[in-house]
Amino acid sequence: MSGLRFELRDPPDMRLDLSPLVPDRLAGMDRAAIERIELGTSRMSRRVGDVFGVHTADCECIAIEGGSARFDWVGAGMRSGELVLDGEAGLYAGRQMAGGHLRISGRVGGWAASGLRDGHLEIGGDAGPFLGGPLAGERAGMAGGIVVVRGNAAERAGDCLRRGLIVIEGRAGPHPGSRMLAGTLIICGAAGASPGYLMRRGTLVLGAAKALLPTFVPAGEASGAFRRLLAGALTALSPRAARLVGRAQDRFMGDMASLGKGEILVPAPATLRFR
Amino acid sequence: MPAVTRGGVRIDETFAEAFDMRGTAVLITAGAARWARQAAVTMTGFATSIIACGCEAAIDGEVPASATPDGRPGVRVLMFSGSTGELQKQLQARVGQCVLTCHDTACYAGLSAAETLRMGDAIRYFGDGWQISKRFGGHHYWRIPVMDGEFVCEGTTGLTREAVGGGNLILMGRSAAATLRAAEAVVAAIAEVGGAIAPFPGGIARSGSKVGSKYKALVASTNHFYCPTLRGAVQSGLDPDIVSVLEVVIDGLTPDAVTSAMRAGLAAAVALGPERGAAHISAGNYGGKLGRHHFHLHELLP
């Protein structure tokens, strides 16, 4: 990769805030200025130069070589360009992203893609709890854009999802799609307990589920035109998700304990299995 | 009128006078191509002329399943009208009454443009609150529950102000059969040109019109200049050996599309020769003062 590179020197000794290391915030800065950026989150200072070896180049394309579970806010607020983290990340990766392409090769902590509005976040490993979910006090979670998780997701993935597309290629923990307002959440593997808990609108596609809440009612099968349309849009993002959506799906509407205009699609025949 | 001859066919040195129009396109798909075609035919049935139909519309061509958003066979329909408001009204009415109602169909934008017309954004209300909004892949779709499942309809489709209406070829033959053969060859050639349509029945108009009438209420009336049964009574544009005249009117999303369609049509007619096809070809205009676009036949000759 020929862009700006940050090479991790040693594992960090405190949690770091990496939100300044995004293309639009580094534009026009020289190496000395970049090395002075403060990343520390305690009373002790940790500047970019203390943590990373910096190799300057075009900052539209940034690579961070070496990750850590203590790297919080990776790509937060990013609006354009490309950021690649080779390794794992901590909390709030891609928080409130509004554009660009963020790729993290390893696993990420909780609240990744929280408040994401536009752009594309790809997570090579597993995702922590509340993927795309809101922080305490916020009314809605992710509001646009695309998130693809190649591994599994922990509990409450897609909580309060408002708009946009989340694909989890592996399994999901308990309550995926809880309180969804709209949008699309696709889980290629098995979903944890009570998927779609209190969802209002939106589409939740599951590769498998042990049971659905009794407040989800059978509602025929998913229309072929819509499934094919969605599968077509997924082909480039996740062939696995495209294959799942391409298969015949039974449709359940709910959560009737809430507005009840959401839907869960599971491979047919599911109606007899759940009822 | 001065003329040139190609393969024995006399071609007047005149031009087709065409007008700026607003144009749009929709792509209709269905599980079986037959039902996509049915919706397209129904939607474009009463859409020959803006004189009384509100718009001019026809099938642009079939789209293979590999090139449609939902991977089902499709048909692209073009629509033209004189104003954005009228085109919007016609689009909404025709998609709402002819595509929404047609078994198994879905309807997508057939034109990508900065300006848009409301399609699913208007028809969604048929869902009575059960309609579902979906955004992905840079598009906005509506899913409207209907009795055979769901009608999927894209929210908007593109609008172009570059469209041109009124390109035409007037084909004059020594027999009715030869004239029809020429007209059908022209229509078949135009069908191969993307972005251009011939909106009259089967692509052919037999009742070419002139502006105005002896009756005050009419804005257009029969073009007596080309009527073979009036040739002795009026100033006629017909050679003595001509017995039948047909016109092919062409609308296109761009002036280039109309040019290509007229060029292809002329070549097809000339290839038939004066005995099997048209002996004389002309084009309709109003002296060049009404329409901005002039398509000169001698510049389009094969």
Band (pLDDT 50/70/90 cuts) for residue A274 is low
| Residues from chain A contacting residue B31 (CB–CB below 8 Å) | 224
d(Cα A170, Cα A187) in Å, to the nearest integer? Answer: 7
d(Cα B135, Cα A275) in Å, to the nearest integer? Answer: 32
Q: Please report the pLDDT score of residue A270 as a whole number.
A: 64
B154 and B175 belong to one structural domain: no
Nearest CA distance, A201 vs chain B (angstrom) = 8
* C-alpha B140: how far from chain center: 28
Radius of gyration of chain B (CA): 21
State whether residue A44 is helix, strand or coil. coil
B31 and B155 belong to one structural domain: yes
Q: What are phi and psi of B180, to 5 degrees?
A: -65, -40
Residues of chain B with pLDDT under 70: none
| Residues from chain B contacting residue A225 (CB–CB below 8 Å) | 29, 70, 72, 104, 106, 149-150, 152
Q: Please report the pLDDT score of residue A58 as a whole number.
A: 81
Report the chain B residue with the minimal C-alpha distance to residue A234: B137
CB nearest to A224's CB, from B31, B136, B141: B31
> Which CATH number belongs to the domain containing residue B257 in this structure?
3.30.70.520
The total number of structural domains that make up chain B: 2
Q: What is the DSSP string of A237-252?
A: T-HHHHHHHHS-EEEE
Say yes or no to pLDDT of A1 above 60: no
Per-residue pLDDT reduced to its tens digit, A108-153: 999 999 999 999 999 999 999 999 999 999 999 999 999 999 999 9
**ipTM for the predicted complex:** 0.91
Angle, alpha carbons A65-A69-A74 (nearest 5°) = 60
Domain containing B291: what range? 3-18+162-299
**Does residue A237 belong to the interface with chain B, where contact is any CB pair within 8 Å?**
no
B122 and B26 belong to one structural domain: yes
Per-residue pLDDT reduced to its tens digit, A90-119: 999 999 999 999 999 999 999 999 999 999
Chain mean pLDDT for chain A: 94
Say yes or no to pLDDT of A248 above 90: no
**Does residue A8 belong to the interface with chain B, where contact is any CB pair within 8 Å?**
no
| Domain final residue, candidates B133, B160, B187 | B160
**CA-to-CA dists, residue A184 to A143, A165, A179, angstroms:** 11, 5, 13
Say yes or no to pLDDT of A275 above 70: no
| Domain final residue, candidates B142, B160, B178 | B160
Rounded to two decimals, the pTM is 0.92
d(Cα A19, Cα A122) in Å, to the nearest integer? Answer: 17
B224 and B285 belong to one structural domain: yes
CB nearest to B72's CB, from A182, A184, A225: A225
Per-residue pLDDT reduced to its tens digit, A221-236: 998 999 999 999 999 9
Contact B23, B80 (CB under 8 A): yes
> Where are the domains positioned within chain A?
107-274
Q: Please report the pLDDT score of residue A273 as a whole number.
A: 61
Q: What is the DSSP string of B126-192?
A: GGTT--EEEEETTEEEEEEEETTEEEEEESEEEEEEEEEEEEEEEEEESSHHHHHHHHHHHHHHHHT
d(Cα A103, Cα A126) in Å, to the nearest integer? Answer: 13
Say yes or no to pLDDT of A239 above 80: yes
